[in-house]
């Protein structure tokens, strides 16, 4: 059974501060890692899909890194804004996509 772990479960960050959280996964049989943002009352939206060890991707103030050998990915948010408040989901797989429990991020004004 593929186990995708995310930490922390919940995070409160002051507006303007930077933050990061972790996704851990088994390093064997890696295929692709996904990050999604899920805002309340909306559908999850893809942030990144990463496949290569050492890969780094960036979209605006959000970036992610991937270490497939040790089985982790970090998601970074620089200069948090209220609109960043959401649940951030990490997922793994190819033929089937397995999700972690997510990190719920609250940005404090």
Binding interface with another protein (CB under 8 A): 1, 31-32, 34, 36, 43-46, 49, 51, 89, 91, 94-102
CB of 21 to another protein, least distance (A): 14
Q: Return contacts of 19-23, CB within 8 angstroms, 24+ apart.
A: 19/76, 19/77, 19/80, 19/105, 20/74, 20/75, 20/76, 20/77, 21/74, 21/75, 21/88, 21/103, 21/105, 22/72, 22/73, 22/74, 22/75, 23/72, 23/73, 23/74, 23/75, 23/90, 23/100
User: Is the CB of 15 or the CB of 45 nearer to another protein?
Assistant: 45
User: Is the CB of 76 or the CB of 99 nearer to another protein?
Assistant: 99
CB of 69 to another protein, least distance (A): 19
User: Is the CB of 15 or the CB of 94 nearer to another protein?
Assistant: 94
């Amino acid at each position: 059974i593929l186990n995708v772990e995310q930490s922390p479960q919940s995070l409160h960050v002051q507006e303007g501060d930077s933050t990061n959280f972790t996704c851990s996964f088994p390093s064997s049989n890696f295929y692709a890692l996904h990050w999604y943002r899920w805002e309340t009352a909306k559908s999850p939206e893809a942030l990144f899909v990463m496949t290569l060890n050492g890969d780094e991707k960036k979209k605006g103030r959000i970036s992610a890194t991937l270490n497939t050998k040790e089985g982790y990915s970090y998601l970074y948010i620089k200069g948090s804004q209220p609109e960043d408040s959401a649940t951030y989901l990490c997922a793994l797989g190819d033929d089937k996509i397995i999700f972690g429990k997510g990190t719920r991020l609250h940005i404090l004004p």
